[in-house]
Amino acid sequence: MCEASGFDAFSFKGLIMADIAVVLPDGSQRTVQNGATVRDLAASIGAGLAKAAIAGKVNGELVDLAATLNDNDSVSIITEKSPEALEIIRHSTSHLMAQAVKQLFPQAKVTIGPAIETGFYYDFDVDHPFTPEDLEKIEKRMGELAKSSMQIVREELSSSAAVTMFKGMGEDYKVELIEDLGVDSVSLYRQGDFADLCRGPHLPSTSFCKAFKLTSIAGAYWRGDEKRKMLQRVYGTAFADKKELEAYLERIEEAKRRDHRKLGKELDFFSFSDEVGAGFAIWHPKGAMLRTVLEDFERKEHLKRGYDIVVGPQILKSELWQRSGHYENYRENMYFTEVDEQSYGVKPMNCLAHMMIYKSQLRSYRDLPLRYFELGTVHRHERAGVLHGLLRVRCFTQDDAHILCTPQQLDSEIKDVIAFVAEIMAKFGFDFDMELSTRPEKSIGSDNDWERATNALLGALKDSGRPYEINEGDGAFYGPKIDIKLRDCLDRKWQCATIQCDFTLPERFDLNYIDSDGEKKRPVMVHRVILGSIERFIGVLIEHFAGSFPLWLSPVQAVLLTVTDAQIPYAERLYMQLRNAGVRVQKDFRNEKLGFKIRESQLQKVPYMLIIGDKEVESNTLTPRFRDGKNLEPMSPESFIGFVSTESANFH
């Protein structure tokens, strides 16, 4: 039959084993045998690459080294130096940790263990909470397992077979995950005596897990549901080499020293009280002054750019929140109350009142754009488990604004906001990254309106010339948004500024303007914040500056220190002179040694200590000492006032 068909056994075998061509990152083609894996491709390129390879990227998708290649695949080899490597290393290290936990605590049940931005975590169901001593044991066992160089192997199983397997292992959480997936088959990864449900990819062996550290323990509800069981979450981090790990751990220690909760207490800025309620900050005099300086700065910057200051009420009728879509899509984050048998919602956002201001009179195209700015205090019900100092609270103030403009003005307004953000962030020494967050599953508005809004933001991003990323499905329920994440001195990212484009709420609230043709048209609304939550931004600032604020921002710019009681009358007059000139000054006239008072002022991170001794009284001067210990020459009070004014003005 082969002869009749024109084939013999040899040629048929040759057909089966025909070579295939794959495309490398530089565009060149490389021929490999049919059935070759990513590992085979790396070996064909060079022994060094084969040794360094940890994974591959095939047609844009990360895969294991054992993945089989097909003709015309676009392939790149992932090594520890590749940008994609860190997530793979961390994910594999989370599995290594779970294996160590199972060996040390056989009754522990494993749940999920993803890689995250700072490392990885794994959640465990255990009878007793882990202790710091347990972490040391787990980390030691991880090191032993890593050195054993176990192969990490991917397996494909039918879902029913996987359920049977995990049930036999007593791993109920894995069974639940598989059943909820609703798929016919799943992938597992095995290493020695440990198997885990996972999509992958993973490192080829545990020997590549060579620089890791377990960092902390926390509680976490299964699937984030407060009604489900509390699990033990073990956090860790991992890097390709020990130098990177050590550098990261040094940054972590520095972050601990800069923790705004610690410094906020030491500097007497704010406090939280169980008697008041979780998530509600109480601002002390110095913290309130810091807020005031920041908010006054914000008002001036907005007025310079043509914004009108407005103020809306704290509660609005529930019917308005129903019309806006908040009641349906955001109700779990809101607080409600009742007045005169009428339901009201405590505002989580400021947009509704701003739209009512717009609707209060007939608008012409000549009036637009209108830019309403409000330092609006809002309340949102955050889960207790996510509250974190000033960074996540239930009551906060936003530097919120809503721009109502024509569709033709939209592009320039978005670009102006991006420029506004860039200018303000530069004043604080922040650089930032941007990402476009697109339509979420839970949303309102037509497909057409979402497309128009998304395209408007995308166009402005492209024209800005700055890099950006796409964050699929993370937009607001009423429109897409640009999220701006600033980077602090430790290169940590913080979400602050946001620009949202909204065609939907103007439609729901029937906002109109009379266009040049005499016809009614619908305006577009841009929701935006520059700093975002004032509370959150202050928390970030405290950590960025380690509490040592620049002179213009410091709640206390100077403190008067007397050497003896004899200088108090002169120092009192100086105190009033400086205060009347706008210098934020405090006095320390205690009968203590000057060195003691200087050290206390330095600990409070006051920019200038003004030393007043007999010489200063006689010459009607003061001697400034900077917080780093540098002494300036004696100067007149008027000169110091001018110095403070000039230094503050030059900064901002």
**d(C-alpha 209, C-alpha 146), whole Å:** 6
Give, in order, the Cα–Cα distances in Å from 536 to each of 388, 542, 552, 604. Answer: 10, 10, 20, 21
Q: Fill in the amino acid letter for 328.
A: E
568: exposed, middle or buried (C-beta count within 10 Å: 0-12, 13-18, 19+)? middle
Q: What is the pLDDT of residue 17?
A: 55
pLDDT digits (tens, 9 = 90+) for 437-459: 999 988 888 899 899 899 999 99
CA dihedral 348, 353, 356, 357 (to 10 degrees): -150
pLDDT beyond 80 at 651: no
Neighbours of 159 (CB within 10 A): 15
Distance, CA of 447 to CA of 12 (rounded, Å):
54
Q: Which residues are catalytic?
A: 351, 380, 398, 400, 402, 481, 527
Instruction: Evaluate whether 13 touches 1 at the Cβ level (below 8 Å).
Output: no
Provide the sign of the torsion angle of the four alpha carbons 54, 58, 62, 63, taken in this order. negative
Which residue ranges form the domains of the chain, and what is each CATH number? 2-79 (3.10.20.30), 85-257 (3.30.980.10), 291-313+348-545 (3.30.930.10), 558-651 (3.40.50.800)
> In this structure, are residues 511 and 404 in contact, taking their beta carbons and an 8 Å threshold?
yes
Sheet containing 342-346: give its strands across: 315-317, 342-346, 335-339
CA 373/CA 643 separation, integer angstroms: 33
Quote the pTM value: 0.81
pLDDT at residue 464 in the model: 87
Q: What is the pLDDT of residues 598-631, one digit of tens each?
A: 999 999 999 999 999 999 999 999 999 999 889 8
Read off the pLDDT of residues 533-546 as tens digits, 9 standing for 90 and up: 999 999 999 999 99
Residues forming beta bridges with residue 116, ordered by sequence position: 119
- Between 32 and 12, whose confidence is greater? 32
Asked whether the predicted pLDDT for residue 14 surpasses 50, the reply is no
> Can you read off the two tokens belonging to residue 305?
């750019």
Please name which of 644, 363, 345 lies closest in space to residue 522, comparing C-alpha atoms: 363
The Cα 215–Cα 213 span in angstroms is 6
Contacts of 181 (CB under 8 A, 6+ apart): 159
